[in-house]
Homo-oligomer: A and B are copies of this chain.
Amino acid sequence: MRVGISKLLYKDKALFLAYDQGLEHGPTDFNAQNADPEFIFKLAFEGRFSAVACGPGVAEKYYEGVYRDVPLICKVNGKTSMAKINPISRQICSVDRAIKMGASAVGYTIYDGSPNEPTMFHEFGKVVEQAHDYGLPVVVWMYPRGPNIKELDNEVLAYSARIALELGADIVKLKFNDDIENLKWMVRCAGKTKIVISGGERVLPEQFLTEAQKVMGAGVLGMAVGRNVWQSDKPFSVAQALKSIVYEGKSALEAAQLVK
Contacts and interface: CB of A to CB of B under 8 A. Distances in A.
Given A23-B162, A83-B114, A90-B121, 20 more contacts: A1-B100, A1-B102, A26-B159, A27-B162, A28-B155, A32-B188, A36-B188, A37-B191, A55-B167, A57-B169, A57-B193, A61-B165, A82-B149, A83-B113, A83-B117, A84-B115, A90-B122, A93-B168, A94-B129, A97-B129
Contact of A26 (B79, B158, B188): B158
A168 B129 contact: no
B55 A155 contact: no
A199 B83 CA distance: 26
A198 to B, nearest CB: 19
Contact of A168 (B56, B165, B169): B56
A112 B82 contact: yes
Contact of A122 (B92, B122, B185): B92
20 contacts: A1-B100, A23-B162, A27-B162, A27-B185, A28-B155, A28-B159, A32-B188, A35-B162, A36-B188, A55-B166, A56-B125, A57-B169, A61-B168, A80-B159, A82-B149, A84-B115, A84-B148, A85-B117, A93-B168, A94-B125
B159 A27 contact: yes
A163 interface: yes
Interface in A22-79: 22-23, 26-28, 30, 32, 35-37, 55-58, 60-62, 78-79
Contacts of A37: 165, 191
A89 interface: yes
A88 interface: yes
A164 interface: yes
Given A82-B156, A156-B82, A166 B57 contact: yes
Given A166-B22, A189-B27, A80 B113 contact: yes
Interface residues of A, number: 78
B91 A125 contact: yes
Contact of A79 (B100, B118, B128): B118
Interface of A: 1-2, 20, 22-23, 26-28, 30, 32, 35-37, 55-58, 60-62, 78-80, 82-85, 88-94, 96-97, 100-102, 112-115, 117-119, 121-122, 124-126, 128-129, 132, 144, 146-149, 155-156, 158-159, 161-169, 185, 188-189, 191-193
Contacts of A125: 56, 91-94, 97
